[in-house]
Structure 1
């Protein structure tokens, strides 16, 4: 996939592994630099990997639910937050608080990308219990609206996750107005799922 799509920065979420096993897997991926938030047992995990000949990343802050980066590519620079939101509504409360704090500190173009475990619009979820998800969805919507973030949209299948008869668009990219001006042609693709219940998402600048 890295060669097929000419990927320069790769973020893997919910890796479920840590320690020597994680390092062994990372070494087999053809990107030469990495920053890894290891899984806690079988829970979570965020890996950020890159081709350092083309990209430079500075890790600003991190937690079990995000990695906040400054990205440099040639003469361009911007901020990126890779997100793996807890599947539990209560577990995401701390994440929204951290993201609000970071949004208040960022000075420049920024975007977020990853698995938010919530949807912005009703049609982004089919099946399952709607009422059980409303609280978590509203907290996500409030964050997006407060900071006037733009959903980059997508091409491909409408959902990025499914289990049984439940289909949801849990993975996306959001951007500030300044970031969208910097990358007016940026587009997000929903790729075909591999060995996962999530579909990979590909951001082309």
Structure 2
């Protein structure tokens, strides 16, 4: 993210869509650059999971209130409210570990979060797992057990796959 071309692309996205929240996963920059990058993107408020590895940076506008409800090395979950504290939704940003064992901790965390979530909830990010064989490209064999664990977490948490737009494989 410290790459100037990437920052320009992010700035164009923010200008076009004006998001109130913008997350960067695996920023490829040190934590001390987070605030400066946020200012370049037009955000004055931010936080990260720096104490947990720093792979998730979250920026937000001053038009909303953000309350961190859960933070680990793989997920940050926040409650988003209007300025008068009227709830809008819950948002979880995920950057899953490559290790299947480590992801099991994430799946358990998501299932536990679901039990305490009553309103709209978006869970987004890089899960380092696929729900279906068709989502995988490459020569390595598809790991059915890995997909099964991910599918179980999605189903147990009551989540729905929102699909995608654009390139299927990036």
Which structure shows the bigger proportion of residues in strand conformation?
1
Q: Does 2:77 align with 1:65? A: no
* Matched residue, 1:153: 163
Runs of 5+ in structure 1 lacking a partner?
162-205
Alignment of 1:15-164 (within 5 A): 15-38=27-50, 45-53=55-63, 55-73=64-82, 77-131=88-142, 133-159=143-169, 161=170
How far is the alpha carbon of 1:44 from its aligned partner?
5.5
Q: TM-score, length-normalised on structure 2?
A: 0.80
Q: 1:147 to 1:120 in 2, by over 3 A?
A: same
Q: Distance in 2 between matches of 1:158 and 1:39?
A: 33
Give the superposed CA RMSD: 2.1
Displacement after TM superposition at 1:76 (Å): 5.1
Distance (whole Å) between structure 2 residues aligned to residue 141 and residue 73 of structure 1: 33
Unaligned ranges ≥5, structure 2? 1-12
- Secondary structure of the residue aligned to 2:41 is coil
Give the paired residue count: 156
TM-score in terms of structure 1 length: 0.68
Structure in which a larger fraction of residues adopt helix: 2
